[in-house]
Amino acid sequence: MTGCRNGLVARLRRYLEKLELEGIHYTAHKIELTYKDAVKDVPLAKKVDLLLLGIYLFYEKSSLNRSMLKHAHDICQQIQNPDDPAYHKDSFRKAKNYLLLLISADIAQYLHLLLDVVRCLGDLSELFQHGQTNISAIVNELQTAVDVLNKYLTWPGPSPRRIMESDTTMFQGEKLSGRSNTFKNVRYDMLTSLISSLNKRFIDMASTSLQNTWILNFKLWPAEYSGNKNFGDSAVQALAQALEKTLMEAEVNPTLAEDEWTVLKSYNYKSKTSLVSRLSWQQINQSYGERCASFLHLVDLQLSIPASSADIECGFSQVKLIKTDWRSRLTDDHLTDLMVVQLQTVCVGNFNPDKAIPRFLTTGARHVDGYTHTAGCSTVEDLDDNNELNEEHVQEMLVQVQ
């Protein structure tokens, strides 16, 4: 599907004769695949994975081990009697082996390196899945992550520094064993493979259209216009040339985009109504939509490119959940309505009822304004008839009682 020659996007480019087509495919998931590619040939990484998995299963699969772990917290200073039968259990041998691995210097250093690497990749993945992220932020953050990983090649990160720059034989009161150069070699191999895999997995981000989307990010604009009057000119020129056919089909003149870009820069910096870094394209469209129409059409085209396929994957997941709950008896219209409600409704956890509570208590409103229910016998006339019948019934009951 993502092949550079016979993938879906490559075939669509040839079939539609539109070389400017871009494919965005599970961007966040690529980070997980990148990490797996980087550590698959690192023996120390496999040893650490087995260690962490073993410790997890050691307590997950045994309620006795979990209870004894809590009990050990109270008697951790007690020296165990070697004659104790529990001393010779298989679980004890497993725990002792895990302890020997944990106090290994190479494994301790590698675990601290993973803290920094996972933090870097985790922040990148979280940004990719954010609904308000545009494609320009993806390209910029990818390069930032590569720069951070390159720094880790020659300089220890915050977490490994705590163990590498302190006592070489002790860490948090435990004596480390087996300190050697294995970790340094593993660090270089793993980080080099990670950077290479990151560039390979996101090779589609190297296209002309995506590399020049940095002009969409106002935080990358210079603070002052003087001395930077030509910034972004080459990027706009490259975008206009790459998307010329698409713009012409939309009846937009791409040759006007470069001049309108210069005009827009002049307007933004000379108006000084707010800092450039705080501007938004919505504000610019409202202010200069007519004067810079061609360039803003080019911007809209770039902003329409999704940052990731997370929303699409979420949509497919919701379809499966809805169809399962309703036993696949929904029509297309009803399914669409439920999908809109599920995907567009604000999270209930973010709802603030403070404004609704005073209105409910003071006005006594129990339904939405303007709502009229027409089903059954709840119309105004039917309710009046029911009230009359109830009054007659009450009078009859009073006569019988008397």
List pLDDT tens digits, range 93-151: 777 777 777 777 778 888 888 888 989 888 888 887 776 677 777 778 888 889 999 99
Nearest to 207 by CA among 23, 392, 399, 395: 23
In sequence order, which residues have a C-beta less than 8 Å from that of residue 239 and are 6 or more positions away?
208, 209, 212, 213, 257, 298, 302
Query: In 156-180, which positions are buried (b, 16+ CB within 10 angstroms) versus exposed (e)?
Result: bbebbeebbeeeeeebeeeebeeee
Q: Domain boundary at 303, 332, 367, which? A: 303
Residues 37 and 129 in one domain: yes
pLDDT of residue 271: 76
Output phi, psi for 306, to 5 deg.
-70, 150
Distance CA 42, CA 87 (A): 34
Residues 217 and 263 in one domain: yes
Q: Domain boundary at 287, 303, 319, which? A: 303
Residues 193 and 281 in one domain: no
Coil/strand/helix, residue 100: helix
Residues 168 and 299 in one domain: no
Q: Domain boundary at 258, 278, 303, which? A: 303
Q: How many domains does the chain have?
A: 2
CA distances from 235 to 91, 169, 238, 264 (A): 63, 53, 5, 15
Burial of 268 (0-12, 13-18, 19+ CB in 10 A): buried
In sequence order, which residues have a C-beta less than 8 Å from that of residue 21 and are 6 or more positions away?
9, 12, 13
Position 189 in a domain: yes
Helix (H) or strand (E) holding 325: helix 310-325
pLDDT of residue 365: 54
Residues 145 and 51 in one domain: yes
Answer whether 210's CB lies under 8 Å from 137's CB: no
Residues 265 and 123 in one domain: no
pLDDT of residue 379: 47
Residues 188 and 221 in one domain: no
Position 186 in a domain: yes
Residues 58 and 198 in one domain: yes
Distance CA 93, CA 23 (A): 52
Position 378 in a domain: no
User: Any bridge partners for residue 171, and if so which?
Assistant: 174
What is the DSSP secondary structure assignment for residue 203, as one 8-state letter? G
Position 261 in a domain: yes
Spans of the chain below 50 pLDDT: 377-383, 386, 389
pLDDT of residue 173: 67
pLDDT of residue 383: 46
Residues 192 and 244 in one domain: no
Residues 287 and 144 in one domain: no
pLDDT of residue 106: 78
Position 7 in a domain: no
Residues 131 and 253 in one domain: no
Coil/strand/helix, residue 104: strand
Residues 242 and 144 in one domain: no
pLDDT of residue 90: 62
Q: What domain range includes position 198?
A: 23-77+84-206
| Residue bearing tokens 């030509």 | 230
Position 329 in a domain: no
Position 167 in a domain: yes
pTM (2 d.p.) = 0.64
Position 66 in a domain: yes
Coil/strand/helix, residue 306: strand
